A and B are shown apart, each in its own frame.
Chain A
């Protein structure tokens, strides 16, 4: 939108729009007593007012209840509050991954999920402490996995040969279980 104000003397009527208008009238009207708590450009959300014409998703509360990392991976979320499956009765058949890999996947998943949560809740100290705790555990889990099953990262120093290239890769049969 472009507005060019070319006239040095703007119309007098434009001046009027600088004056406070209307709100006193709305507040005194008993019929709209409930609406008066929100300004005319706001609408009601449960318990609060918010600007209209914007989508609202409720903010997840700080330090929400959590699954443990293993259950979180099986459910696809760390938070019971966000666990909204297509069919409740669809049971998870978590493939029997080897212990080191499934432990590491669960830890890494908890790290991803908490990291995402912290992006929008950066002041939640409890979650941050847990996040760092999971990262420490993840390092240990990674070390255990790599000892048994070879490198996860190309820059791992592997004794004897360049084991990074060894099969199976994650998409191969048996590559991730």
Chain B
């Protein structure tokens, strides 16, 4: 649930109109690295996040980006008030004006409308957070570029604030990667295995199910879904949780599939299960 508050996060008070600048700044409203995409990216990525601090982070930052969207809209709105025909033509604002008049439409500076293809939701903690780190840097560069192009101090004051927020968000998005990966059984999974794999395998009923999912001499089909630091073992057919949560066994006692990338020569010569 979202509740609107009738104020901006940071004051926007633009003294002089400047449609040319407005046509550039609209990119942070609906461009590829704009605030609309940022908020939708974070608010959509929340659902598949496994840890509470990640759910909180994406909710908080996604919500703050909606506030930034409002600030960008306010800048563009105030830069384009009281325009006359000559202003529009002289300032190169006519291409935007013909479609949107002085309304605020989510489009990039080059004119193409906002596109969900400029954001990503992968459903994977590492992929999504890495995307978010990149997204914050891309937004930061866009603000840098606006500061390079704009000489309106009223606009730059707000842009400077928004740019500073991208830096803080980058820091916050980076911190959970560290807390969550430090101290993990990092030898256990090869890189592609780590975030999400499903292994079809046969279980040895003689071995406690929590100790070794891959073991020689197995019976019965199970699926092991390994995500991050725990794994769930399912029946292949029913896909119900069989044992949960399952802690990864100690690295060097595990099965051949973890020897990918190992330097031990005998592992390289070992035939892989097919």
Chain A residues at the B interface, C-beta cutoff of 8 Å = 1-11, 13-22, 39-42, 50-51, 53-60, 73-77, 79, 82-87, 90, 92-95, 97, 101-102, 104-105, 108-109, 112-113, 115-117, 119-120, 122, 151-154, 164, 169-171, 173-174, 176-177
State which of B6, B11, B56, B262 has its C-beta within 8 Å of the C-beta of A177: B11
User: B56: which A residues are within 8 A, CB to CB?
Assistant: 119
Listed A/B pairs (24) with beta-carbon separation below 8 Å: A1-B193, A3-B272, A5-B201, A10-B273, A15-B216, A55-B174, A59-B175, A59-B179, A73-B10, A76-B162, A76-B168, A94-B11, A105-B9, A109-B9, A112-B9, A112-B60, A115-B60, A116-B64, A116-B172, A119-B53, A120-B176, A171-B74, A176-B12, A176-B13
Contacts of B1-24 to chain A: CB distance below 8 A: 3-13
Per-residue A-contact encoding for B244-262, CB less than 8 Å = 1, 0 else: 0000000011111101011
Selected from A1, A40, A56, A97, the residue in CB contact (under 8 A) with B174 is A56
Q: Is B198 an interface residue (CB 8 A)?
A: yes
B217 engages A8 (CB within 8 Å): yes
The smallest beta-carbon distance between B243 and chain A, in angstroms, is 19
Asked, given contacts A60-B171, A119-B56, whether A105 binds B133 with beta carbons under 8 Å apart, the answer is: no
Residues of A contacting B57 in the complex (Cβ-Cβ under 8 angstroms)? 116, 119-120
**Closest chain A residue to B262 by CB distance?**
A21
Could you say which of B171, B181, B218, B270 contacts A17, with CB atoms under 8 Å apart? B270
Complex partner residue of B269 from A9, A13, A19, CB under 8 angstroms: A13
Contact call A92/B7, Cβ cutoff below 8 A = no
**Lowest 5 A-B CB distances belong to which pairs?**
A57-B174, A76-B164, A21-B264, A95-B13, A51-B186
Q: How many residues of B contact A (CB 8 A)?
A: 88
Q: In the bound complex, how far is the Cα of B217 from the Cα of A11, in angstroms? A: 11
Contact residue among A3, A95, A117, A120 (Cβ-Cβ distance under 8 Å from B257): A3
Residue of B nearest to A4 (CB): B200
**Known pairs A51-B181, A173-B78; A77 contacts B9 (CB<8 A):** no
A3 close to B273 (CB less than 8 A): yes
Max count, chain A CB within 10 A of own CB: residue among B172, B177, B198, B199:
B172
Residues in chain A near residue B187, CB distance under 8 A: 39, 41
Q: Are A95 and B154 in contact (CB under 8 A)?
A: yes
Q: Is B208 an interface residue (CB 8 A)?
A: no
Question: Which B116-157 residues have C-beta < 8 A from chain A?
Answer: 126, 130, 133, 143-144, 147, 153-154, 156-157
Q: Please tell me if the beta carbons of A1 and B192 are within 8 angstroms of each other in the complex.
A: yes
A170 touches B7 (CB 8 A): yes
Query: 17 extra interchain contacts, Cβ-Cβ under 8 A, other than A18-B252, A154-B4?
Result: A1-B193, A3-B257, A6-B202, A10-B216, A10-B217, A13-B270, A51-B186, A73-B10, A76-B10, A77-B167, A84-B167, A117-B172, A120-B176, A152-B5, A176-B7, A176-B8, A176-B13
B11 & A14 in contact (Cβ 8 Å cutoff): no
